[in-house]
Chain A
Amino acid sequence: MKQEYDFAVVGGGLVGMAIAYGLAKRGQKTIVLDGEDSSVRAARGNFGLIWVSGKGKKQVDYGRWSLESALLWPAFAAELEEASSLSLGYSRQGGISIALTDDALAGSVDTLRQLHARDARLTYDILDRQQLTERIPEIGQNVAGAVYSENDGHVSPLYTLRALFLAFERACGEYVPEAPVMSIERANGGFRVDTGKRTLEAGRVVLCAGLGNRELAPMVGLTAPVVPLRGQILVTERVRPFLKYPTLSVRQTAEGSILLGESAEDVGMNDGVTPEIVAHIARKAVTQFPLLKNVRVVRAWGALRVMTPDSMPVYEESATHPGAFIATCHSGVTLAAAHCEVLVAWLLGGQRPSLLDYFYAKRFAV
């Protein structure tokens, strides 16, 4: 029996919308069920990095998956810009990880060397303080050095999401906000999804609700082993462009404002900002870039990352409820292109990419 929708995607963040757009543009009748304006949304607190280097130390396939997505990003960005008439501020000039101490630098280099040994495409260069100063003249004195990787880039995460909305709409996708999913049941060869206000039937369901997946996954015989990890971000007034390379904790956007992060706090569902971390981020920013001392922060954010125990993704189809899928990761921007192009092919019934062999939830079973 043909359901009203081919796919119901639960969650309208970066993961959900990349997947939903990928499905819709391939002719699938797709509906996205999203939360409310005040819902906790990792997509709103994203730093905007398309980051490959350093990923995959526990399992190199994660680094490879990130690289595959980074390589798909230029075409993905162009497609979204064409569909939305927006400029995404996408840039791939490489990324720099600044190390404040020699130990930190040695640690980074060690990780990158191991990864490179497993896959030669995971390239990196070590920059001593002088080489770093050549690339970024504004860098402060109290840094040990950095590593540079050409695989890294950045983009505006918010404009990416907005462009996905526009592209999805153009591809005849249906987006429904304020539709929290109450239940998902097997029905008529597919699934019946109840949002309280409305019930609909879809052939397949993809759970992309971030932390909300915890409640949803058991409905379809899956588990979502995710916990929140708060990150606080400071955003400055616009500054004339001076930093073309994104770094892990300082990034200048296309608009000129500077994003500063990145903390990692285990505080449950609390997405507030705290004096300690704000001061810490500011101190680190001024250490790395002394000229930022009189640049003013115009707003601060706290956002809850969606973290699995090993911080790597979970992509899985339910064994008890075939046709129900879960997709979760904390790098919704980096992986957006791969989600849209590669993952969607699997959701449509294609072969699961062997690159994703590791990313089942069962790896966490004790």
Chain B
Amino acid sequence: MQNVSLFSQIDGASPRTVRIVVDGRPVDVPEYANVAAALLYAGVGVFRRTPVGAAPRAPYCMMGVCFDCLVEIDGLPNQQACMVRVHDGMEVKAMAGARALV
């Protein structure tokens, strides 16, 4: 996952954060954010690579319709990041192609 933040909080937004781990890297994100927002905040540009053509993807609809923001959350693959709120200690990993059977 690359490290360029395309989005940032506006001035005066609540400063409370939680700490999540993104592909092994700990990062503090707004505590009210959903995982997709948190990853964008942390500078994650590519959320997954598609199973068909390994194409890079990131959120498109932010409301649970497009299924492009799929990541592994706390060991469960293919979760819609925009539909899950962050919590302290959450572990997030990018999806590379089809999920494994775990």
A contact set with B: CB distance below 8 Å: 138, 237-240, 242, 255-256, 291-292, 294-296
Contacts and interface: CB of A to CB of B under 8 A. Distances in A.
B51 A238 contact: yes
B10 interface: no
A138 B102 CA distance: 10
A291 B102 contact: yes
A240 B98 contact: yes
B51 A295 contact: no
A296 B98 CA distance: 12
B100 interface: yes
B51 A256 contact: yes
Contact of B101 (A242, A255, A296): A242
Interface in B88-102: 97-102
A242 B78 CA distance: 18
A61 to B, nearest CB: 40
Contacts of B101: 138, 239-240, 242, 291-292, 295
B102 A238 contact: no
Contacts of B102: 291, 294
Given A291-B102, A295-B99, 6 more contacts: A238-B99, A240-B98, A240-B100, A242-B101, A292-B101, A296-B78
B76 interface: yes
Contacts of A255: 51
A288 to B, nearest CB: 13
Contact of A294 (B51, B76, B98): B76
Nearest to A252: B101
A291 B100 CA distance: 10
B102 to A, nearest CB: 7
Interface residues of B, number: 9
Nearest to B102: A291
Nearest to A256: B98
A224 B99 CA distance: 45
A136 to B, nearest CB: 12
Contacts of A237: 78, 98-99
B100 A239 contact: yes
Nearest to A138: B101
A238 B49 CA distance: 13
Interface string B59-102: 00000000000000000101000000000000000000111111
Nearest to B75: A294
A239 B101 CA distance: 6
A238 B99 CA distance: 7
A295 B102 CA distance: 9
A255 B53 CA distance: 12
28 contacts: A138-B101, A237-B78, A237-B98, A237-B99, A238-B51, A238-B97, A238-B98, A238-B99, A239-B98, A239-B99, A239-B100, A239-B101, A240-B97, A240-B98, A240-B99, A240-B100, A240-B101, A242-B101, A255-B51, A256-B51, A256-B98, A291-B101, A291-B102, A292-B101, A294-B76, A295-B99, A295-B101, A296-B78
A324 B58 CA distance: 57
A238 to B, nearest CB: 4
A192 B29 CA distance: 73
A86 to B, nearest CB: 14
A240 B97 CA distance: 9
A1 B72 CA distance: 68
A294 B78 CA distance: 10
Nearest to A292: B101
Contacts of A238: 51, 97-99
Contacts of A242: 101
A360 B99 CA distance: 48
A193 to B, nearest CB: 41
A294 B73 CA distance: 13
Contacts of A138: 101
Contacts of B98: 237-240, 256
Contacts of A239: 98-101
A296 B72 CA distance: 13
Contacts of B76: 294
Contacts of A291: 101-102
Contacts of A240: 97-101
B98 to A, nearest CB: 4
A246 to B, nearest CB: 17
